[in-house]
Chain A
């Protein structure tokens, strides 16, 4: 049962008879009249249960882009259906206004019997992950529009919101650098970790050390060898989804930033796009005390969709990361030397108790890169001199910085590469580190 504003107006109209015949009987009679009118209107309204509803939702949408949820509502009530249909979505699905006022996803409908209508609700999700639709609520009104009936139909729907991958803007420049390494461009890099590619004629400017004297003797022409970086190396990205990944970075004023894991995901996406095109085999595991997501065996055009799909549902878990477990995961997946990228935080306490104890087991067999998201707010705290409390903040930030430096030094001593960058810079920095390692043949 539901009433509309018209019912209130009808009730308020009782003021006139109450003034003409002021007695309690008038009030009772008018109230009864209103009840009867509402009852008749409800009885004449179409049944909200006798409606066929289908919901069409795209499989997935990238964060920040627009999707639409479509409802096809078919009236099988046997009489005209007038009323409101609500396509319910959780707030972070960012549902837009429909044709009816009062809230997002509301549509007015006026359907004769056996007819159907398509209702479109725009969705602009505000967070990564799966958005599960609520039910579809149908409120039918009687011919007077005073009262009606309402029922909610459970219509399942799921919209997967993929990571934004804003860092893809860095991809073209890094791809250009990769091609330079790859021998497709003019610059030749010769060094350890590169493999023989082909022989070609010497041109002025080539490194004389790369002249292949045997081939020169055979051909009677000066011939140089060309090299290209090794391919088919293995890259394992480990995304730490433990408690430290929940912390918000990049807070500005009262606006709280995004979780650390979001910046890590951006970096992971850029690295896998780059490494995938460089011909390396990329795998990913999101881990805290259990595997939260895993991508393996995907290559070529299937890699990035698999990555986006897997990373879309990864969120911070409020548990301490199990670093021996991480080592176990790496050992299980990587039998030969590989590039292991740990996307975690350099929180001194967490590093000392967790990562430092096991990093030597990883660096023994693999090239390890530890990438961490730094916080701008801490950097801002370190330079505050305005008041004594700001100086205390600065002192605390200075101490934290020293401890972080100490942890970084320890990690480097074990042979790990350490990157610490602000959220927006982490992805390009990690990509640059990857390219540098590749150029140096350290993969």
Chain B
């Protein structure tokens, strides 16, 4: 800052109207100041970055290795599928877990197996089409009706029919014969065509496992997915059934559907319900559904412009016209605060005796003053004087002024009001 005494008054300004110190006010002229580079600030930023980095590092390495998604091959919990996947891996089956329809579509091909574990949400029609277009063998665990229809061309229906009857599969499917006895729920029924239906219901019309050939591949439908759960995989012949159906080929694609999976909403590439391979008008797959494809052309650039406008607006509003001026603020303490604190304390511990004594003493003090009693007057003197002034009985006054402490808050309020009445009578007299 360059502080100089001005030699002459500023030309365009007349003499100052009085009431200030015009002559010795320094002129302040700005100078090209640079804001100092502060290592301290850099140090702080560095420290914060390091802390965040360390946090992420710890987070990355302490994350549990298994997942907690039901039926996932990495889930070691009761509802996981890790046991079956591990055993399949030991037998030379490559298990490839996928979370999206697109990944399943790309991963599974003819001569392999695809297993669709129970899914938390319905597939979109396009996704079901895409799945049905996969040429590999398929194992469906507790499929939805739409999925079942798409894979079996409507030849199998499902309707819950209670637990399976003991006494073997009663069918010719080799997987079922290997498994023999299972504890699964049933609910599948074949309405047309030929299929192996195994483990009929103990009472009712339904089967636990159906194997059929559709579109040139084997489709295994298992009504109850508990056979691949870690907790029930060892019950009966569950393990055998699971290994037979899932391990039929060397490659197994294990689809654990994701609630937020938005891939392949438009069905398989090539369009149409004819399935995969017969379209082929262009080699490139269709772009995935995105908000851009349903909005008019040019939306993207406009949105970008608007975002940049928002940025400019933010810069405009964020730039303050000069720094804030600080000001030491005064203390704000109410004078009655201590009184209120004491009252709350009385109330919190129910100190009715204390409260009543305070009210009584202060009323007695005021009345004694009014009646001209000496400061040293004792209880009897005060009682007599007050009783005389109000024409009440001595006992009544003594009970009011020096009686037992009130038993509850209602009595305390009552006492306060009675004291008020007594006092008003004394002051009137």
Docked CA distance A163–B409 (Å): 47
Contacts of A19 in B (CB 8 A): 298, 301-302
Contact B297 A116 (CB under 8 A): no
Docked CA distance A76–B30 (Å): 11
Contact A2 B331 (CB under 8 A): no
Mask: chain B, 404-429; 1 = CB below 8 Å from A; 0 = not: 00000110110011001000000000
Known: A48-B30, A389-B347. A247 touches B327 (CB 8 A): no
- A-to-B contact residues, CB < 8 Å: 1-5, 7-8, 11-12, 14-15, 18-19, 22-24, 26-27, 30-31, 34, 47-59, 70, 72, 74, 76, 84, 86, 88-92, 102-103, 106, 114-118, 127, 133-139, 150-156, 246-249, 251, 256-257, 259-260, 315-316, 318, 347, 375, 377-378, 381-382, 385, 387-389, 391-402, 405, 409
Known: A70-B16, A86-B321. A391 touches B412 (CB 8 A): yes
User: Is B315 on the interface with A (CB-CB < 8 A)?
Assistant: yes
Cross-chain pairs A/B with CB under 8 angstroms, 27 sampled:
A3-B312, A3-B315, A7-B315, A11-B305, A12-B306, A19-B298, A24-B304, A27-B308, A49-B31, A50-B30, A51-B30, A52-B10, A54-B28, A55-B25, A74-B12, A90-B326, A115-B12, A117-B13, A137-B322, A247-B337, A318-B331, A378-B336, A388-B409, A391-B355, A394-B359, A395-B416, A396-B358
Contacts of B312 in A (CB 8 A): 3, 7-8, 11, 34
Known: A27-B308, A106-B321, A396-B346. A52 touches B334 (CB 8 A): no
Distance between B48 CB and nearest chain A CB, rounded to angstroms: 26
User: Is B20 on the interface with A (CB-CB < 8 A)?
Assistant: yes
Contact A402 B365 (CB under 8 A): yes
Known: A90-B325, A247-B334, A389-B343. A54 touches B316 (CB 8 A): no
Distance between B418 CB and nearest chain A CB, rounded to angstroms: 11
Docked CA distance A130–B417 (Å): 50
Known: A34-B312, A54-B27, A115-B12. A375 touches B298 (CB 8 A): no
Docked CA distance A50–B71 (Å): 73
Closest 4 CB pairs of A and B: A137-B322, A22-B298, A49-B30, A395-B355
Contacts of A55 in B (CB 8 A): 25
**Nearest B residue to A5 by beta-carbon distance?**
B316
Docked CA distance A377–B416 (Å): 19
> Which of A15, A151, A256, A402 contacts B358, CB < 8 Å?
A402
Contact A377 B326 (CB under 8 A): no
Contact A134 B334 (CB under 8 A): no
Distance between A394 CB and nearest chain B CB, rounded to angstroms: 6
Contact A246 B6 (CB under 8 A): no
Docked CA distance A138–B321 (Å): 8
Contact A15 B12 (CB under 8 A): no
User: Is B333 on the interface with A (CB-CB < 8 A)?
Assistant: yes
Contact A86 B308 (CB under 8 A): no
Task: List which B93-138 residues lie within 8 A (CB) of chain A.
Answer: none
Q: How large is the interface on B (under 10, 10 to 19, 20 to 34, 35 or more residues)?
A: 35 or more
Docked CA distance A389–B26 (Å): 62
User: Is B309 on the interface with A (CB-CB < 8 A)?
Assistant: yes
Known: A90-B327, A150-B319, A395-B346. A155 touches B305 (CB 8 A): no
User: Is B374 on the interface with A (CB-CB < 8 A)?
Assistant: no
Distance between A69 CB and nearest chain B CB, rounded to angstroms: 10
Contacts of A137 in B (CB 8 A): 321-323
Chain B CB within 10 A, most for which of A84, A378, A388: A388
Task: List which B306-342 residues lie within 8 A (CB) of chain A.
Answer: 306, 308-309, 312-313, 315-316, 319, 321-327, 330-340, 342
Contact B297 A22 (CB under 8 A): yes
Known: A27-B305, A70-B16, A114-B11. A401 touches B362 (CB 8 A): yes
Contacts of B300 in A (CB 8 A): 22, 24
Contacts of B31 in A (CB 8 A): 49
Chain B CB within 10 A, most for which of A84, A154, A391: A391
Contacts of B325 in A (CB 8 A): 88-91, 133-134
Docked CA distance A405–B22 (Å): 56
Chain B CB within 10 A, most for which of A50, A72, A139: A72
> Which of B327, B338, B362, B410 contacts A91, CB < 8 Å?
B327
Known: A49-B30, A88-B322, A103-B321. A30 touches B305 (CB 8 A): yes
Contact B346 A392 (CB under 8 A): yes
Contacts of B410 in A (CB 8 A): 388
Contacts of B21 in A (CB 8 A): 56, 59
Mask: chain B, 189-223; 1 = CB below 8 Å from A; 0 = not: 00000000000000000000000000000000000
Known: A24-B301, A27-B301. A57 touches B327 (CB 8 A): no
Docked CA distance A316–B347 (Å): 32
Contact B316 A8 (CB under 8 A): yes
Contacts of A397 in B (CB 8 A): 339, 343
Known: A59-B21, A72-B13, A392-B347. A15 touches B302 (CB 8 A): yes
Contact A54 B6 (CB under 8 A): yes
Contacts of B338 in A (CB 8 A): 347, 400
Contact B335 A378 (CB under 8 A): yes
Distance between A381 CB and nearest chain B CB, rounded to angstroms: 6
Docked CA distance A400–B27 (Å): 58
User: Is B287 on the interface with A (CB-CB < 8 A)?
Assistant: no
Contact A49 B358 (CB under 8 A): no
Known: A54-B26, A91-B327. A86 touches B322 (CB 8 A): yes
**Nearest A residue to B19 by beta-carbon distance?**
A58
Distance between B218 CB and nearest chain A CB, rounded to angstroms: 49
Contacts of B327 in A (CB 8 A): 90-92
Contacts of A400 in B (CB 8 A): 338-339, 342
User: Is B59 on the interface with A (CB-CB < 8 A)?
Assistant: no
User: Is B29 on the interface with A (CB-CB < 8 A)?
Assistant: yes
Contact B297 A134 (CB under 8 A): no
Contact A56 B16 (CB under 8 A): yes
Docked CA distance A47–B30 (Å): 10
Task: List which B9-55 residues lie within 8 A (CB) of chain A.
Answer: 10-13, 16, 19-22, 25-33
Contact A385 B417 (CB under 8 A): yes
Contact B321 A385 (CB under 8 A): no
> Which of A3, A76, A118, A259 contacts B319, CB < 8 Å?
A3
Chain A CB within 10 A, most for which of B312, B333, B420: B312
Distance between A276 CB and nearest chain B CB, rounded to angstroms: 26
Known: A51-B30, A70-B20, A378-B336. A3 touches B330 (CB 8 A): no
Mask: chain B, 347-371; 1 = CB below 8 Å from A; 0 = not: 1000000111011011101000000
Docked CA distance A111–B301 (Å): 41
Distance between B197 CB and nearest chain A CB, rounded to angstroms: 58
Known: A18-B298, A72-B13, A397-B339. A247 touches B330 (CB 8 A): no
Contact A393 B343 (CB under 8 A): yes
Chain B CB within 10 A, most for which of A8, A30, A127, A402: A8
**Nearest B residue to A31 by beta-carbon distance?**
B308
> Which of A53, A58, A318, A389 contacts B27, CB < 8 Å?
A53
Further contacts, 20 of them, CB under 8 A, given A11-B305, A11-B309: A7-B312, A12-B309, A18-B305, A19-B298, A22-B298, A27-B301, A31-B308, A51-B29, A70-B16, A90-B325, A91-B325, A139-B321, A151-B30, A154-B28, A248-B332, A251-B334, A377-B334, A388-B413, A389-B343, A395-B355
Contact A116 B12 (CB under 8 A): yes
Contact B336 A251 (CB under 8 A): yes
Distance between B31 CB and nearest chain A CB, rounded to angstroms: 6
Contact B13 A116 (CB under 8 A): yes
Contacts of A48 in B (CB 8 A): 30
Contacts of B377 in A (CB 8 A): none
